[in-house]
Amino acid sequence: MVEYITVTAAVALVALSLGGQLVALPTSNAAAIKLVTSGARAQKVPVSAAKAAFARAPFKKPVLRYLYAAGWISGTKYRTSCIVTRISPRTAEERATGEIRGERKLRSQLRKLGVSPRTAAAALVKGVVSACS
């Protein structure tokens, strides 16, 4: 249940950092960095650390790097949940996949970028786990 809070928070962070309207996920690193910066500020997490998380994300696509950083921000904000997510990342990925599938606009944007909900969820969860590693 606790990891569900973190996963839900991470998905919500993605929505919030896009201004509440899932108009466009980032397709470039520059756009992704802007979203990471605004997300970190909104969550009162150090911007420089969030940018560093983006830089070390183990993905090539900017959208996946952004989702990783959004997960990191959420994991940093909710430390206890982060640790629980680290213990059972598979369960967290399944729940995140369900959350993403439930967000029609987010799902549509991911499809346009060639990213499955499962891959997006994996990026989010890896980011959350990296915050408490």
Query: 78-131, pLDDT tens digit by residue?
Result: 887 778 778 888 888 888 888 888 888 888 899 999 999 999 999 989 998 999
Q: Compute how many other C-beta atoms are within 10 angstroms of the C-beta atom of residue 32.
A: 24
pLDDT digits (tens, 9 = 90+) for 23-73: 478 999 999 999 999 889 988 999 999 999 999 999 999 999 999 998 899
Q: What is the pLDDT of residue 6?
A: 58
Is 15's pLDDT higher than 70? no
Whole-model pTM? 0.86
Cβ(133)–Cβ(86) below 8 Å: yes
* 73 vs 53: CA distance, rounded Å: 9
